[in-house]
Amino acid sequence: MAPPVQQRGSVLLFEVRTPIRTEPFGERYHLVPGKELGRGKFSVVKKYVERCSGKEYAAKFMRKRRKGQDCRLEIIHEIAMLELASACPWVIDLHEVYETHKEMVLVMEYAAGGEIFDQCVAEHDESFTQDDVKRLMRQILEGVAFLHSINVVHLDLKPQNILLTSTSPLGDIKIVDFGLSRMVKGDQELREIMGTPEYVAPEVLDFEPISTATDMWSIGVLAYVMLTGTSPFLGNDKQETFLNISQINVSYTEDELEGLEKSAIRFMKSLLVKEPQARATAYECLHHPWLQQGVNRGGLEEQDQEDQKGQVTEGLIVVAAYSLGQC
């Protein structure tokens, strides 16, 4: 595994096993005309077809220089994080990497269903049912449990970074965007990484240590958004949003929550708590009563369902341990 290197107060990995290709990207792939798949501050994601295979991919073009600083090593770290998580079926696959004078290009598996964000804010007939949310939330939690079992925190879990393999029929989730993700080890404290205001945990705002519990806060926000279509802490501006978060100013009596199962509300309440140590872990969430009922798993008897769920989660964590050479 790549050696960890301390940079700007956090541990980044600077060695990758994916070859970094320098031949012209356009010779190997052709652009699919149409809308870009997405865009961030320093990146743009477009759909391409690999000429030799005819397969579709999503290519994330990332500028190496940002605000006058060389950020190549941060991109290398993002690649290393994707490699670490490659055994997990709920994390996007990295296919190839290219480098040009100004950019790096991460060629990833294409998630045709786009962001779950679009379903979260869709009109009623196109939005998720409670059973959809349960199935997708289980996959998200299995992915996050996998990451946490290898000491990786994502730190930017939000509906724009959870994609779907298809929308009709509703497919499976893929976690993307490891730009803020970090390794967390017992003896090293990590602070000060900023995610997206609405999803940021109170300890991040207070410059307190960041841990796997920081992701669990975001899972609580994510569940709220997926179930109601509204963002629980969003204020009129950033300051108001931050104030809402630090005061845990969240309402469980809004109209949007009417008709939700009581256990769904208890699930969110087990995560949206100020004290990181008091939050449920990903593993505990997978065993939460809310996620035990109403999920269609093809007509299995209840006990068989229990056994199968346990096997999926435990199986993923064993895979994680193998990929780190811990077994």
> In this structure, are residues 72 and 79 in contact, taking their beta carbons and an 8 Å threshold?
no
Nearer to ligand ADP, 74 or 260 (CB): 74
Lay out the site mask for ligand ADP across 165-184 (x = CB under 6 A, - = otherwise). -----------xx-x-----
Query: Which of 70, 156, 215, 307 is an active site residue?
Result: 156
What number of other Cβ atoms are within 10 A of residue 326's Cβ?
10
Which of 186, 191, 262 shows the shortest CA–CA distance to 227? 262
Q: Is 214 in the site for ligand ADP (CB under 6 A)?
A: no
| Least Å from the CB of residue 264 to ligand ADP | 25
Compare residues 97 and 264 and give the one whose CB is closer to ligand ADP. Answer: 97
Decide if 187 contacts 155 (C-beta within 8 A). Answer: no
Per the CB < 8 A criterion, the answer to whether 252 and 262 are in contact is: no
255 is catalytic: no
Of positions 74, 96, 115, 203, contacts ligand ADP by CB under 6 A: 115
Site for ligand ADP in 51-110 (CB under 6 A): 58, 60, 92, 108-110
Distance CA 127, CA 146 (A): 28
Could you tell me the sign of the dihedral formed by the alpha carbons of 188, 189, 192, 195, in that order? positive
Q: Write out the binding residues for ligand ADP, residues 217-246 only, by CB under 6 A.
A: none
# binding residues, ligand ADP (CB under 6 A): 19
78 binds Mg ion (CB under 5 A): no
Q: Do the bridges between strand 29-31 and strand 38-39 make them parallel or antiparallel, or are there none, so unpaired?
A: unpaired
> What is the C-alpha end-to-end distance of the chain, expressed in Å?
15
- Which residue in 4, 13, 43, 146 binds ligand ADP (CB under 6 A)? 43
Of 21-29, 37-45, 63-71, 259-267, the window that binds ligand ADP (rule: CB under 6 A) is 37-45
Minimal distance in Å, beta carbon 211 to Mg ion? 22
Cβ at position 234, least distance to Mg ion in Å: 18
- What are the start-end ranges of the H helices in the chain? 25-28, 72-84, 116-120, 130-149, 202-205, 212-228, 238-246, 262-269, 282-286, 302-323
Match 């997206």 to its residue by tokens: 196
CA distance 237 to 230: 16
> Binding of Mg ion at residue 177 (CB under 5 A)?
yes
Decide whether 154 or 309 has the Cβ nearer to ligand ADP: 154
Choose one: 20-28, 77-85, 177-185, 263-271; the region binding Mg ion (CB under 5 A): 177-185
Q: 173: which 2 tokens?
A: 């989730």
Q: Which parts of this chain interact with Mg ion (CB under 5 A)?
A: 161, 177
Q: Active-site positions?
A: 156
Q: Which parts of this chain interact with ligand ADP (CB under 6 A)?
A: 37-38, 40, 43, 45, 58, 60, 92, 108-111, 115, 160-161, 163, 176-177, 179
